Structure 1
Amino acid sequence: MEEEIALLQAKKSKFERKMLLYGVLFTAPWILGLLLFHAYPLIMSIYYSFTTYSILDPGQWVGLENYQTLFKDDIFWISIYNTLFFTFFFVPISLMFGIGLALILNVKIRGQGFYRTMFFMPSLVPPIATTIIWLWLLNPQFGLVNHWLEQIGIPGPAWLGSEHWSKPSLILMSLWGVGQSIVIYLAGLQDIPQDYYDAAEVDGASLLRRLRHITLPLLTPVIFFNLIMGTIGALQNFVLPYTLSNGQGTPANSMMFYVMYLYTNGFGYLKMGYASAMAWILFLIVVLLTALIFISQKRWVYYQGKD
């Protein structure tokens, strides 16, 4: 009996090793891709941030010199200010805008699917096409936005041509792609049990009270997710400001965002070591803000079924 058990265990062990081998073979392409295209560049970027590496030249070890130079770089601080300004204004506005539209699109009316599709479609437009559209809309001389403002007696600003209006213009343009978050909000709204609304209606709760005490609290996990993703995305804003300013950050560096300056240093000036140092500072900023949001969610995020 013991010999039979030992034989079965040996066969089982052989089968498990065989399955493990097959599993490794099937996942090998993904593992190699992870190591070559993610892990290796990540590790090397840490090393390069302490060197004068410039793609064409292996560079020399300079220690903390890149980081010290960054803190003396005026454009570096301007890029941080522009990025944080955009993040702290765009993210809350996009959250409120997305929630408001999702609430409207959640109302059961004829053509509901059509309206949802129309609000989602702009998020599928390529960024370059979006840039061309908004350059025309916000043109200070013949743009439609200033034309409409003139019709009601308001003089239109220079928009992208003004250092004071360039970032608000960019925030307005970025709201164009809020359709992706609307879809997530709609999924969260449909996950709220109808029984809660029925009970509140029986108790005489108004629409505003139902929104305040049922909808928004139960939607907070979705808001939390979009807050995290929106913050990370805003801190890495690149395509729109780069194309709008031809990579120059004009006017007066008001659209020189952090990732733009990182890209300019790395691939424009070939200061890859300098750019790597910037990348790791950005990583620390993202981690810090994300950690603060995670800490704060204990006070305002409500999960169904959790005490």
Structure 2
Amino acid sequence: MLSFIAPALIGIVIFFVYPLISALYFSFTKFNLLTPPEFVGLRNYQNMFHDTNLIKASENTIWLVLVMVPAQVLFGLGTGILLVTMKRSATIYRTIFYLPALVPPVAGALAFVYVLKPGTGPVNALLANFGIEGPQWFNDPAWAKPSLTLLAMWGIGNTMVIFLAALLDVPVSLHEAAALDGANAWQRFRHVTLPMLSPVIVFSTITGIITTLQFFTEAAVAASAASGQATNGGNSVSTLFGYPEGSTFTYPLWLYVKGFGYNQMGYASAMAIVLFVVAFAIILLVLKRSKSFSGEPS
């Protein structure tokens, strides 16, 4: 038996356990890759409470988790229900809805910045035809995070496929029995479909939280493209990442900047450990609140 699981165990140790222990060790040190690590105790963790950029990045990330994750789950579920009810051309529409998930994140972010570009973007041009003045999208601090949410919703294909498979797996006999008992469409969804989907909802919520807490590529590319730094160049990290006015600065972005921009690997390791602990705690809370995994009241 050990011979069968040994490759997996070796992979877990090399790619998960060892990096985690190394990050934990470096989080208690002053380390810049050029000199040996110097033990500083809890100084890195203490400095995090006084890091205004970190506080701003944490606020942005919390906003994205609270808005983006529910939006992805609801939109994925809604799209799945829509596709299940389609009688004609269902396969074509499934392909169309899933295609954005195949687009690389960098290309998707660049395309969204162009589509939502103020003045010349197709979206604002369409709104102008109806006499509506479109927002500044990625160039407005108030609209930057909602724009990132729209970008995330665009690539909802994976979540949609999971919900679609779960919806197709719901026994038709249960709906027929409920209909014979006089249940309407909403009651059948509420008392038949939704309980059957609860494990998928929990899974999608957990994966969505993990993905959003690690939200990096789209935020970095969108900020650099919207600010013009992607083509014009620039030396300011605060301008390249977080444009406009730090509204798209996420926790992983600041972790990257501290580690590879300022070469403060010890501080970046402390940030990584905190992110891991927070993500782990949130996942445990979601599982505890869910009845679908244990079958017992939470």
Distance 1:204 1:91 in 2: 35
Matched ranges for 1:1-307 at <5 A = 23=3, 27=6, 31-246=9-224, 247-298=240-291, 301=292
Distance 1:276 1:88 in 2: 25
* RMSD, aligned CA: 2.0
Give the aligned residue type for 1:268. G
TM-score (norm 1): 0.86
Q: Is this contact kept in 2: 1:217–1:302, CA < 8 A?
A: no
Give secondary structure in 2 for the equivalent of 1:164: helix
Q: Is this contact kept in 2: 1:221–1:303, CA < 8 A?
A: no
The verdict on how the C-alpha distance between 1:303 and 1:65 changes in structure 2, with shifts beyond 3 A counting, is closer
CA positional deviation for 1:40: 2.0
Give secondary structure in 1 for the equivalent of 2:244: coil
CA positional deviation for 1:71: 0.7
Q: Is this contact kept in 1: 2:110–2:221, CA < 8 A?
A: no
Aligned length: 281
CA positional deviation for 1:108: 4.5
Unaligned runs of 5+ in 1: 1-18
TM-score (norm 2): 0.89
CA positional deviation for 1:147: 1.3
Give the aligned residue type for 1:267. F
The verdict on how the C-alpha distance between 1:38 and 1:296 changes in structure 2, with shifts beyond 3 A counting, is closer
CA offsets, 1:234-288, max 9 Å, x none?
1110110011123521111111100000011111111000000000111111122
CA offsets, 1:172-225, max 9 Å, x none?
111011110111101111221111111122223222221222111221111111
How many percent of aligned residue pairs carry the same amino acid? 40
CA offsets, 1:26-74, max 9 Å, x none?
945x554443333222211111001011122222110000011111000
CA positional deviation for 1:152: 2.2
Give the aligned residue type for 1:71. F
Q: Is this contact kept in 1: 2:30–2:40, CA < 8 A?
A: yes
Distance 2:79 2:48 in 1: 42
Give secondary structure in 2 for the equivalent of 1:245: helix
Give the aligned residue type for 1:218. M
Distance 2:203 2:17 in 1: 26
Q: Is this contact kept in 1: 2:287–2:293, CA < 8 A?
A: no
Give secondary structure in 2 for the equivalent of 1:35: helix
Give the aligned residue type for 1:189. L
Q: Is this contact kept in 2: 1:52–1:271, CA < 8 A?
A: yes
Q: Is this contact kept in 2: 1:192–1:215, CA < 8 A?
A: yes
Q: Is this contact kept in 2: 1:237–1:259, CA < 8 A?
A: yes
Distance 1:51 1:285 in 2: 21
Distance 1:303 1:51 in 2: 41
Q: Is this contact kept in 1: 2:243–2:249, CA < 8 A?
A: yes
